[in-house]
């Protein structure tokens, strides 16, 4: 029952044997001095040096077959089994771990009885993945990680962007939370850097989350650990689907993921939002899928990128792109115009979306200030094709062209039991979000394929216009494109 862990440990053992006594031990000491000089009441712990880890791995690998007790104890190596659990859905990351493409860090920061540990990291030219554990959570609390930042040892912000993913939230009675933080690297990542992570506690009040503590964790990347270069495959093939031209330019394969660069003909009559089922196949039928259901991102009006699992360590002789469904909408329907007074849709994809309710809601903060909102509820055909994707851009305009911000949206469908079961809220600075599960049922209606937004209740020059960011209307046709 421990074959996967044993395989990983054996490969990690071979690599650890090649690592000299770490010269970066001064980094741990210097980090502690820096934290003391800043008079921060935190405790920094390095639980294992690379040398100690190599000794333990030798013991564990040699003992697994002989002693079930050692095999069970192996699961307590910080983060190892949890990493395997967290990446269980990603074939490419599983392969990377199987090939030892992961580094133990085990840096801990403690505050107010709760600890935040960076257990493991994975990195390539494009991505950084940080696996973490929060321990000693009060059983009555529900916590999650919100804002994070990468800083140099001098405190300068590192050029990297957080890849949006919902970090799990602990449940009541749960004292440990495991998760991952993903970054897209925009430049070279230094060997020594710090992760700052803010942990928030969920509340039932209007603010949703209160900050508990900010943790600072130094991370050192072992020399030579993550130096594999990406594989580039030039494609330059164009397909046509309902008179819409799509060009696949190149495939970049990294150890932790793959990227397809896509171009759309500017003369296309439709805006293409994404691919519902695109995947990469090899000649033997093995598949590498998109990393989530909405993993296409616009770079500009005609260029975009698709993120998929990685076939890096398999290195197949043949590769194909396969898909049969895309989401698209006529460009002339990309603006949804609403008459807020009469509660009707004036312009946009009126055959696929309807405004079924406009109501008022209030929110009281901790200072007892009351904010009033308009809540707009839409019925959208086939909303389940999008799952958690945003239907509208966060900014909208009124009849005078003045811009405003959507404050929250909620979605429903086969994944949700109520129209606002999954809600994201933006703050007034438009640079933070909150996730919240809520229980709101709309007039006891069938809530399948509903979408809701909240905007501040104020005077708007009628009508108001929302920019459609994604839409579930699909075009279906089978494609198989050989790229290698």
Which pLDDT tens digit goes with each residue over 122-168? 999 999 999 999 998 887 788 888 889 999 999 999 999 888 666 77
Taking the C-alpha atoms of residue 27 and residue 21, their distance in angstroms, rounded to an integer, is 14
Q: What pLDDT does 392 receive?
A: 92
Angle, helices 91-98 vs 3-17, to 10°: value is 50
Q: Which of 282-296, 358-372, 429-443, 457-471 has the highest mean pLDDT?
A: 457-471
| Total Cβ atoms within 10 A of residue 273 | 24
Give me the phi and psi of 152, to 5 degrees please: -70, 170
Return the C-alpha torsion angle 339, 343, 349, 353, nearest 10. Answer: 160
Per-domain residue ranges for the chain? 3-220, 231-331, 334-468
Taking the C-alpha atoms of residue 100 and residue 98, their distance in angstroms, rounded to an integer, is 5
Q: Which of 2-6, 54-58, 127-131 has the highest mean pLDDT?
A: 127-131
Evaluate if residue 30 carries a pLDDT over 70.
no
Which of the pair, 212 or 328, is modelled with greater confidence?
A: 328
Q: What pLDDT does 131 receive?
A: 95
CATH top-level class of 231-331: mainly beta
Q: What pLDDT does 147 receive?
A: 86
Break the chain down into helix, strand, coil percent, rounded to 5. 15, 45, 40
Structure tokens at 314: 């398999």
Give me the phi and psi of 383, to 5 degrees please: -60, -25
Q: What is the CA radius of gyration of the chain?
A: 25
Q: What is the pLDDT of residues 254-303, one digit of tens each?
A: 999 999 999 999 999 999 999 999 999 999 999 999 986 456 677 778 89
Q: What pLDDT does 89 receive?
A: 86
Mean pLDDT of 400-419: 69
% of the chain at pLDDT higher than 70: 69
Return the CATH fold of 3-220. Answer: Immunoglobulin-like (2.60.40)
Instruction: Work out the mean pLDDT of the chain and round it to a whole number.
Output: 77
β-bridge partners, 264 = 246
Q: What pLDDT does 463 receive?
A: 96
């Amino acid at each position: 029952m421990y074959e996967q862990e044993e395989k990983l440990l054996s490969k990690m053992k071979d690599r650890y044997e090649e690592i000299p006594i770490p010269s970066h031990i001064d980094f741990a000491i210097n980090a502690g001095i820096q934290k003391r000089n800043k008079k921060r009441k935190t405790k920094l712990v390095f639980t294992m040096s690379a040398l100690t880890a190599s000794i333990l791995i030798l013991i564990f690998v040699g003992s697994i077959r002989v002693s079930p007790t050692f095999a069970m104890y192996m699961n307590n190596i910080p983060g190892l089994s949890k990493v395997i659990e967290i990446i269980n859905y990603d074939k490419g990351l599983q392969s990377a771990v199987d090939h030892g493409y992961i580094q133990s860090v085990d840096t801990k920061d403690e505050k107010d009885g709760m600890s935040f540990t960076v257990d493991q990291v994975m990195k390539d030219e494009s991505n950084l993945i940080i696996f973490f554990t929060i321990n000693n959570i009060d059983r009555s609390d529900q916590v999650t990680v919100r804002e994070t930042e990468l800083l140099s040892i001098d405190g300068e912000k590192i050029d990297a962007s957080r890849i949006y993913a919902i970090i799990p939230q602990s449940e009541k009675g749960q004292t440990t939370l495991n998760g991952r933080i993903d970054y897209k690297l925009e430049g070279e990542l230094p060997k020594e850097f710090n992760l700052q992570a803010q942990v928030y506690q969920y509340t039932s009040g209007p603010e949703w989350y209160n900050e508990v503590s900010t943790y600072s964790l130094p991370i050192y990347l072992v020399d030579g650990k993550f130096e594999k270069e990406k594989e580039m495959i030039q494609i330059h093939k164009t397909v046509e689907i309902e008179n819409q031209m799509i060009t696949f330019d190149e495939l970049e394969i990294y150890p932790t993921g793959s990227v397809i660069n896509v171009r759309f003909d500017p003369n296309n009559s439709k805006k293409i939002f994404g691919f519902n089922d695109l995947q990469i196949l090899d000649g033997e039928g093995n598949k590498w899928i998109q990393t989530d259901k909405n993993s296409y991102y616009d770079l500009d009006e005609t260029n975009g990128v698709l993120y998929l699992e990685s076939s890096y360590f398999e290195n197949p002789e043949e590769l194909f792109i396969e898909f049969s469904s895309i989401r698209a909408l006529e460009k002339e329907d990309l603006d949804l115009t609403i008459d807020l007074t009469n509660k009707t849709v004036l312009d946009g994809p009126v055959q696929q979306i309807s405004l079924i309710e406009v109501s008022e809601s209030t929110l009281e903060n901790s200072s007892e200030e009351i904010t009033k909102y308009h809540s707009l509820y839409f019925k959208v055909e086939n909303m389940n094709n999008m799952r958690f994707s945003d239907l509208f851009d966060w900014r909208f305009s009124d009849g005078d062209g003045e811009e405003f911000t959507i404050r929250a949206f909620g979605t429903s469908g086969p994944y949700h039991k109520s129209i606002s079961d999954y809600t994201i809220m933006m703050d007034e600075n438009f640079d933070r979000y909150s996730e919240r599960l809520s229980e709101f049922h709309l007039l006891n209606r069938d809530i399948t394929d509903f979408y809701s937004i909240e905007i501040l209740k104020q005077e708007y020059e009628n009508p108001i216009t929302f920019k459609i960011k994604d839409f579930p209307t699909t075009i279906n046709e089978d494609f198989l494109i050989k790229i290698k």
